[in-house]
Structure 1
Amino acid sequence: MYPSFPPEEPPTPGSPELDPFKLAPASFVVLSTPMLIAFLDIMPLSPGHILLCPRSHKPKLSDVSREEAAELGSYLRILSKALSRTTGIHDWNIVQNNGAAAAQVVNHVHYHLIPRPEIRASGKFRESFTMFGRGQREDLDDDEAIELAAKLRTSIATILDEETRKEKL
């Protein structure tokens, strides 16, 4: 459904693969390889909340192939860097649930990358973050999401380019 694209050369807003009038959710895709897809969560716990999952259906992490596990791990690191650079938030959670008793709602393995802004710096010592199953979550704003996803794709491409240049040194 969503074609893969080279992470080093992501499509830009307005590209046919990201036309929000044809495939609105495609506009929220931040990474799309033949094996994986990452996109903004439509009910984020905080702005920038990303989901990363294999394209093939696998209910639990123990069901993914060795190759999928390696690519998931590699891109968790890249997405973490891109998320931090793009949002300016330097703390985040990575969460992955396996099975209903472990709070897995969608029966497909996926990782959540959730930025955690420092609320104590704002003087709001009594506030806490929305956690899974608690608190009010708001729908993702489409216009903000399209802009954020584009910035994340650019950040991912930049990080991959930087790492390629470092390897050549």
Structure 2
Amino acid sequence: MTDGEAEADGGTASSEGRAGTRRRRRWRVVLGTLIALVLLAASAVVVVLRQNDYDLREERVTRRHAGATLDGVPALPRTGDGPYGLAFFVHGDGRRWTPRTRRSTARSGSPSPASATSLSFSKPGVAGSEGNWLDQSMADRADESLAAVAWARARPDIDGRRIGL
């Protein structure tokens, strides 16, 4: 082997070694970045959960509408006596029942559990409510929801000027 061939061969081996080192360094950077992002996301979840304990008291209520008894759950702040603003949740399609209200309030971040309450009634035929929601038209659902808002306005712990659907 001549000196030129040895130099050429040594140069190739050296450049392959540098390429391998670069690849390993790149993987370390990518892996380090992924680990940092996972830790950051986990920290954000912990912060959100610790700041929002949603210390609510729930009570079961019933009311009559269109000849049927409907089951509901207002979720009120544990402390204070109001009157509170109200976020009234009207469930869409499907067999949704009222205990989801607290989680819906908590997930939305608004209204603040410290200053507002949420309310939801089960659809007819769901979770203790009489009737069958499949027999309702959209107008029936709207009428039922407006009657629930009127019912809530009559409560002393609800501020009738601060009600949202």
Please indicate the TM-score interval, normalised by the length of the shorter structure: under 0.3
More strand by share: 2
More helix by share: 2
Which structure: larger Rg? Answer: 2
Please give the TM-score of this superposition, normalised by the length of structure 2.
0.28
Larger RCO (alpha carbons 8 Å, 6+ apart): 1
Please give the TM-score of this superposition, normalised by the length of structure 1.
0.27
